[in-house]
Structure 1
Amino acid sequence: MAGAELPPPTERLNEEPAIFRGCSSSELVGILVGAIGFWLPTLVLVGFAVGYPMVGVGGAAAATLATVFVAATVFQRIKRGRPIGYYQQLAILVLHRARIRRAPIVLRSGPWDLGRRV
């Protein structure tokens, strides 16, 4: 028996594939939107201050590309050898410890009880 052919790897994905430096397309879009939201207004204001607003737009483009590259590298190091969704859970825990957002996971260790006395 020659054996059944396996489907191509793209037909049996359980998660988004890594596109650039271990980041999926949705992660890259999130990094890109955040970088544009920060760098464009910041460097256009700096451009207006020095009299060349279009230089600020060009600087924002370069800073955005650099931010995407650096942030993708940081995420790649955070995700290395970790399970799927690790850094999202890490971010939720950091926000929980800072009392900004409640974590939807159990953070208590120790013996558990049913909560009723017989």
Structure 2
Amino acid sequence: MATRHATPAHLEIDQDIRSGSVAPLTDRVNVEPPILNGMTSTEAKYIALVSFTVFIALGGLLVAITGYWQCLLIVGLFCPIAVLWWASKYLAKIKRNRPDAYYSQALHLWAVSKGISKPKFIKHNGFWSLGKTLEGNFSSPFHVTEEEKPAPKKSRK
């Protein structure tokens, strides 16, 4: 009677990948994984922090105007969630068909062009040089310029 040996787990995963039932996670190695409509957790933290700060201030203003403390609760909690959802949809539209971190690099280049940030990329429009000139002529020796042409001979009549 033949005994059946258990297949190691890593070989089962390899078979699943080959069959197409499981996708390999090789694209997740160097990139932060998305958590909400393609938005990463770092992006979500920044957006949540800014929107929470803005809406808490707005809720405090509404409490001062109306006297209802519930305004602070409603505006301070539900509006940042709505902004986070809207921002995730907007970022998904910006990121579509572009490489990873494209929009953050574009935002950095925009800040550099406005003088807000220092450049961390090489941004040079022109020719690179070594800072010194080279002696000599780069034209072909077979190409005769106007100055090098011999003077035409005068014919005698």
Task: Give TM-score scaled by structure 2 length.
Answer: 0.64
Selected match of 2:58 from 33, 42, 45: 42
Does residue 1:83 correspond to 2:99, yes or no? yes
How far 1:100 sits from its partner (Å)? 1.1
Q: Structure 1 residue runs of 4+, over 3 Å off?
A: none
RMSD of aligned residue pairs (Cα, Å): 2.3
2-structure distance, mates of 1:32, 1:86 = 21
Does residue 1:108 correspond to 2:124, yes or no? yes
Indicate the SS of the match to 1:19.
strand
Q: Which moved more, 1:16-25 or 1:47-56?
A: 47-56
Task: Letter of the 1:24 partner, please give it.
Answer: T
Structure 1 or 2: more helix by fraction? 1
How far 1:9 sits from its partner (Å)? 2.5
Which structure would you say has the larger RCO, counting Cα contacts within 8 Å and 6 or more residues apart? 1
5 Å matches for 1:24-103? 24-103=40-119
Q: Report the structure number with the largest CA radius of gyration.
A: 2
User: Gaps spanning 5+ residues in structure 2: where?
Assistant: 1-10, 18-22, 135-157
2-structure distance, mates of 1:28, 1:53 = 27
Task: Letter of the 1:44 partner, please give it.
Answer: G
User: Gaps spanning 5+ residues in structure 1: where?
Assistant: none
Preserved CA contact (<8 Å) 1:47 1:53: yes
How far 1:35 sits from its partner (Å)? 0.9
Task: Give TM-score scaled by structure 1 length.
Answer: 0.83
